[in-house]
Structure 1
């Protein structure tokens, strides 16, 4: 019977993933590969907006057979719009982990309830719970 279940289309997945929150980087997504990120904590909010950097996380969600693997990373979002894989300062770890865990729970729930798709953490994913 599982052979009869069709995978959702890329556009149907995008629509559902977009509803989880403002984290989806849609222009960088292709069928079977989706990018998310979250700017959790501003490094220095006294700087002008275009010069601000943020501590946070990003996620590469890749289709692997009938499930998706989630590879989370944490670090610094710099002024050029790039993520740098840097260790989080102790004072921001709690906020970054909270936003990451909340997002992950919504992602797992949405993919399961709407498409019956499982999310597995990649073996190299950072731990956040």
Structure 2
């Protein structure tokens, strides 16, 4: 972003993040801080839909010094709609990593192409292999 350019507004960022796909949790986001998640793998698809839990990832994206820092976590999305930091089984890891990588590529491209902003991975972020 050039020296004279300003950081895009919260509303322009929200619109761009929504265009990436169904990952943005707008109600959990505020100006400069955005929350995303992805329910990648059903824990037990034999359960009725309202009782299902999912393995997946979530992301807290924060604007720091003119660029975004991404902190990803992996865990289980429980029946009450909360993320639990928990190791996913090996059978779910490949799909969780795939969905996270696809999302992150779209996020980087969107921020770079539309706003000339970069994304770095925060040190506290879980490593995706």
Please state which band the TM-score falls in when normalised by the shorter chain.
over 0.9
* SS of alignment partner, residue 4 of structure 1: coil
2:63 pairs with 1:63: yes
For residues 91 and 43 of structure 1, the distance between their equivalents in structure 2, rounded to whole angstroms, comes to: 10
Gaps of 5+ in 1: none
For residues 33 and 11 of structure 1, the distance between their equivalents in structure 2, rounded to whole angstroms, comes to: 12
Any runs of at least 4 consecutive aligned residues in structure 1 with deviations exceeding 6 A, and if so which?
A: none
For residues 3 and 67 of structure 1, the distance between their equivalents in structure 2, rounded to whole angstroms, comes to: 13
Query: Which residue in 2 is equivalent to 1:39?
Result: 39
For residues 18 and 111 of structure 1, the distance between their equivalents in structure 2, rounded to whole angstroms, comes to: 12
**Shift in Å at residue 128 of structure 1?**
1.2
* SS of alignment partner, residue 76 of structure 1: strand
1:1-129 aligned within 5 A:
2-129=2-129
TM-score by length of 1: 0.97
Moved more, 3-12 or 55-64: 3-12
For residues 2 and 51 of structure 2, the distance between their equivalents in structure 1, rounded to whole angstroms, comes to: 50
Q: Give the number of aligned pairs.
A: 129
Gaps of 5+ in 2: none
* SS of alignment partner, residue 27 of structure 1: helix
For residues 66 and 38 of structure 1, the distance between their equivalents in structure 2, rounded to whole angstroms, comes to: 26
TM-score by length of 2: 0.97
**Shift in Å at residue 6 of structure 1?**
1.0
